[in-house]
């Protein structure tokens, strides 16, 4: 994947070229094994393959060009950061992925060992200087979600320009007030670093752009659930992952084109797997690029993933911002309202999540659910028990998996997943 033409750009970003080459090599190999080996993929996936092959190339070049024109790059780790506002000051918002075991040893010198892999990974990426996205950011937004992240941002903040948003942990009136003041504080910060003012017009456009992106993903999520399954779960996961760093307008267009192709496939009653393949839903912690381990194991064990309840899945696309607001104030309220619907495990209580999982399991007619939590993730591991209980009420079997990014447990995971698939088929 290494294009010599980008080397200068990477050097300018102060990446560790050797370590970075190593990362690209692993990424390329993973991608080849897990994605390119699939049979009968839709033509529209070529766009995704292209985007991924250029993830550290062309897309970074676009970011550099945008920066040269004076636009700012905002990095995020969590779906709580309203992209609508970033777009309204003509900034580019990118999700910083943190899905690979890299720089873990270095990370463990500043965060405890019993920290989840996602956190170690974003710290590790920074310390090893291998992520061109992290290095391109003019500002990185942290949020006070789980304790692990909250404290890790203190260490991370010493290495990168950060702004921390406080996310309430309950959904009472006082929490909503707090959240609104945090959204306003984020708005001020954006206006400060870009020197641009958010206007009713720019915010309306920002809302529309992000809603359109969500609508395209909603459409995809409905279509993917058809029987026989028209697209692999891995491919949909990839699409969701790419939605965090691609240009939103271009992405929306490409996904709608892909959806047209899926519709054709459905009309012909064609599937990527036989009609009687067991259908599974994945629920739990977000899976960042290139964390494709579990979906790959599932889909090579004779099952197919047809829905995803995670931040890199329906949690991020389920709700839209109301578009009827006309003034900045009204629109900010609509944004606050929408983001407070996020059912992250950091909230207490968090019963909406249980309801949403139950509903999604019904809608996508799954034979079982695999609940995935990253090792040492308190919020999601806790909720595993509740999710299992809720699903048991509707007689949906669930398998709980706790793992990280390393490959040492792949064989055990395969046995478990295969046994679960045997059990439900």
Binding site for ligand SF4 (CB under 6 A): 78-80, 116, 118-119, 145-146, 148-149, 285-286, 311, 342, 344, 346, 374, 377, 379-380
Q: Which does 263 bind (CB under 5 to 8 A by kind): another protein, ligand SF4, none?
A: none
Q: Which of 201, 260, 270, 411 binds another protein (CB under 8 A)?
A: 411
Any contact of residue 101 with another protein (CB under 8 A)?
Answer: no
Nearer to ligand SF4, 76 or 277 (CB): 76
Q: In angstroms, give the least distance from the CB of 263 to ligand SF4.
A: 30
Say if residue 355 is exposed, middle or buried (CB neighbours under 10 Å; 0-12, 13-18, 19+).
exposed
- Please name the helix (run of DSSP H) or strand (run of DSSP E) that holds residue 128, with its range, or none: helix 117-128
285 vs 245: CA distance, rounded Å: 19
Q: Which does 297 bind (CB under 5 to 8 A by kind): another protein, ligand SF4, none?
A: none
> Residue 290, preceding bond cis, omega within 30 degrees?
yes
Q: In angstroms, give the least distance from the CB of 126 to ligand SF4.
A: 15
Comparing CA positions, the residue from 39, 213, 222, 20 lying closest to residue 102 is 20
Q: In angstroms, give the least distance from the CB of 408 to another protein.
A: 6
Q: In angstroms, give the least distance from the CB of 354 to ligand SF4.
A: 15
Size of the site for another protein (CB under 8 A): 12
Q: Which does 185 bind (CB under 5 to 8 A by kind): ligand SF4, another protein, none?
A: none
* Residue 341: count of CB within 10 angstroms of its CB: 12
Q: What angle do CA 102, 152, 143 make, to 5 degrees?
A: 115
309 vs 361: CA distance, rounded Å: 9
Q: What is each CA distance from 347 to 309, 340, 352, 356, in whole angstroms?
A: 16, 10, 10, 15
Binding to another protein (CB under 8 A) within 341-400 occurs at 397
Nearer to ligand SF4, 262 or 344 (CB): 344
User: What is the greatest pairwise CA distance in the chain?
Assistant: 59
Q: Which does 374 bind (CB under 5 to 8 A by kind): ligand SF4, another protein, none?
A: ligand SF4
CA 236 centroid distance within chain: 11
Indicate the DSSP class of residue 345: T
Nearer to ligand SF4, 62 or 108 (CB): 108
Q: Which does 75 bind (CB under 5 to 8 A by kind): ligand SF4, another protein, none?
A: none
Helix (H, G, I), strand (E, B) or coil at 143: strand
Stretch that binds another protein, among 3-11, 206-214, 265-273, 407-415 (CB under 8 A): 407-415
- By the criterion CB under 8 A, which residues form the site for another protein? 397, 402, 408-409, 411-412, 415-416, 418-419, 422-423
């Amino acid at each position: 994947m290494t294009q010599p033409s980008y080397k200068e750009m990477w050097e300018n970003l102060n990446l560790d070229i050797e370590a970075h080459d190593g990362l690209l090599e692993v990424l390329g190999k993973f991608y080849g094994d897990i994605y390119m080996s699939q049979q009968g993929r839709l033509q529209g996936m070529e766009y995704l393959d292209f985007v991924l092959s250029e993830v550290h190339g062309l897309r970074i070049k676009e970011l550099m060009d945008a920066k040269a024109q004076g636009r700012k790059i905002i990095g995020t780790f969590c779906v709580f950061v309203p992209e609508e506002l970033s777009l309204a000051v003509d900034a580019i918002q990118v999700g910083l992925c943190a899905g690979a075991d890299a720089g873990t040893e270095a990370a463990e010198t500043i965060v405890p060992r019993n920290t989840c892999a996602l956190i170690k990974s974003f710290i590790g990426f920074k310390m090893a200087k291998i992520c061109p996205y992290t290095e391109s950011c003019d500002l990185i937004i942290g949020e006070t979600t789980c304790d692990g992240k909250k404290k890790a941002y203190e260490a991370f903040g010493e290495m990168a320009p950060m702004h921390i948003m406080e996310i309430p942990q309950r959904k009472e009136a006082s929490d909503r007030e707090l959240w609104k003041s945090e959204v306003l504080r984020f708005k001020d910060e954006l206006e400060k670093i870009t020197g641009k003012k958010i206007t009713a017009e720019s915010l309306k456009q920002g809302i529309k752009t992000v809603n359109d992106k969500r609508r395209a993903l909603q459409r995809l999520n409905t279509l993917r659930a058809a029987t026989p399954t028209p697209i692999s779960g891995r491919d949909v996961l990839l699409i969701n992952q790419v939605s965090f760093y691609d240009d939103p307008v271009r992405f929306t267009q490409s996904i709608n084109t892909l959806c047209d192709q899926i519709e054709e496939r459905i009309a012909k009653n064609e599937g990527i797997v036989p009609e009687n393949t067991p259908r599974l839903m994945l629920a739990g912690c977000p899976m960042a690029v290139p964390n494709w381990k579990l979906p790959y194991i599932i889909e090579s064990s004779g099952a197919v993933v047809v829905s995803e309840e995670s931040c890199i899945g329906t949690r991020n696309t389920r709700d839209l911002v109301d578009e009827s607001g006309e003034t900045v104030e009204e629109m900010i309220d609509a944004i606050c309202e929408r983001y407070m619907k996020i059912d992250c495990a950091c909230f207490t209580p968090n019963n909406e999540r249980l309801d949403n999982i139950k509903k999604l399991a019904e809608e996508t007619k799954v034979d079982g659910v695999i609940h995935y939590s990253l090792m040492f993730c308190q919020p999601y591991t806790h909720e595993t028990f509740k999710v299992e209980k809720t699903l048991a009420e509707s007689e949906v079997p669930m398998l709980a998996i706790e793992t990280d990014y390393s490959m040492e447990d792949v064989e055990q995971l395969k046995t478990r997943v295969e046994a679960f698939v045997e059990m439900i088929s």
